[in-house]
A and B are shown apart, each in its own frame.
Chain A
Amino acid sequence: MKSRKVELLVGIFVLLTIGAGLLLALKVANQSMSGVSESYTLYAKFDNIGGLKARSAVKVGGVTIGRVESITLDQDDYTPVVAMTISTQYNAFPETSSVAILTSGLLGEQYIGFQPGFSIDGIENLAEGDYIEDTKSALVLEELIGQFLFGNNDN
């Protein structure tokens, strides 16, 4: 029948749309990282976050382990507080770990480089809501050039 052919082709149309939607969801917008999988939140205070934005990646040696959830300003000491959601898959980072804001390439986007610390007895693992104490701010190009040109007494 003619109407069966119509239904079949409309069915294919719907499947194509779902396929396109899945491609956009999983490969393009990366829905799988946020929400669906279990995660925990860590905080870090920086002096300067440079161009870091919500949803920037958190990487260990180039492997993405989480994303920046939000960036707020601490009302007491006026320093930026970055909240990061980290996948529970990676849940055994010691308290001595450090984070730095890095740039991928000269003009690329900024991300958080996570450096796992040493682990000895008496050092606990980072857990939900903990602050990472050891942080390195973003490199601000203007400051860097200033330091280079006019020298710096500390160095």
Chain B
Amino acid sequence: MSWAVNWISNIGAATINRITVFGRATLMLIGAIIAKPQPAKLIPLTIKQLYVVGVQSLLIIIVSGLFIGMVMALQGYTILVGYGAEGSLGPMVALSLLRELGPVVTALLFAGRAGSALTAEIGLMKATEQLSSLEMMAVDPLRRVIAPRLWAGIIAMPMLALIFSAVGILGGHLVGVDWLGVDYGSYWSIMQSTVDWNKDVMNGVIKSIVFAFVVTWIATFKGYDSVPTSEGISKATTETVVFSSLAVLGLDFILTALMFGIE
């Protein structure tokens, strides 16, 4: 009998542990975002973080977007040309990018590029007593360190996703029209008649905002909550990438079902 009791109490302990972690993460979020924002200080700090998480992620986003658009055009063309429907290449590339690949791939790249960096940076600030030192200087590290990073992440990722999709569509054009000879007019005009601003573009942006929030929250919290040793920080960084990738993929399914599932 005792193994059963152990097993059940293990489940209980794990559950309590998860809930405590979630509670700490929520407290951090409330402390950073909700409690009395100070725009005069927050805005310049957020702009600086926009540079770090946004501008420095631009290159990887543009290059990935370009190549994914090109690959999709190449793959799509070989399939569509079999049905004589290569004119539909435009909408295929555009819809896949706007609805799915733009938000999801951007979120995954962002988690790897900017999320892990955020976690490591905050973890190291904790390890080198910089967070403690802020507190002793009567400056709230949640507002000073966490809040600008959270905002910057939430703002930057949808921007990156838009750029990703646009570059991808241009990449598709490059391969589809310039290389494989799909008609220029049909690439754009069928795309135009198929893609809907609200349904496709805005839903993609909404997805991206949700992903941005989740990824940045996980990244900042993992750093803030890390064990301040080199081992602890490396674990926190890995967990940021793993957890936020899983969260993005899981949420993507739920959001897609809500947005496009029921018509």
Contact = CB atoms under 8 A, between A and B. Distances in A.
Interface of A: 3, 6-7, 9-10, 12-14, 16-17, 19-21, 23-25, 27-31, 55-57, 64, 67, 104-109, 111
Interface centre among A21, A29, A31, A55 (most CB of B within 10 A): A29
Contacts of A31: 197
B163 interface: yes
Contact of B192 (A3, A27, A108, A111): A27
B234 to A, nearest CB: 29
B235 to A, nearest CB: 31
A109 B190 contact: yes
Contacts, number: 92
Contacts of A105: 84-85, 87
Contact of B201 (A12, A25, A57, A111): A25
A70 to B, nearest CB: 14
Main secondary structure of the interface of B (DSSP, over half): helix
Contact of B55 (A9, A25, A57): A9
A23 B98 CA distance: 12
Q: Assign chain B's interface to a size class.
A: 35 or more
B73 interface: no
B84 A9 contact: no
A28 B191 contact: yes
A10 B193 contact: no
A57 to B, nearest CB: 5
B54 A13 contact: yes
Contacts of A23: 166, 169-170
Interface of B: 47-48, 50-51, 54-55, 58, 83-85, 87-88, 94, 98, 156, 159, 162-163, 165-167, 169-170, 188-197, 200-201
Contact of A17 (B51, B87, B88, B163): B163
Contact of A7 (B47, B58, B85, B165): B47
A10 B87 contact: no
Contacts of A57: 193
A20 B192 contact: no
Contacts of B156: 13
B197 A25 contact: yes
A30 B193 contact: yes
A7 B166 CA distance: 24
A104 B183 CA distance: 14
A106 B159 CA distance: 39
Contacts of A12: 55
B194 A109 contact: yes
Contacts of A109: 88, 190, 193-194
Given A9-B51, A13-B50, A13-B55, A29 B85 contact: no
B113 to A, nearest CB: 14
Contacts of A67: 193
B197 A27 contact: no
A28 B47 contact: no
Contacts of B163: 16-17, 20
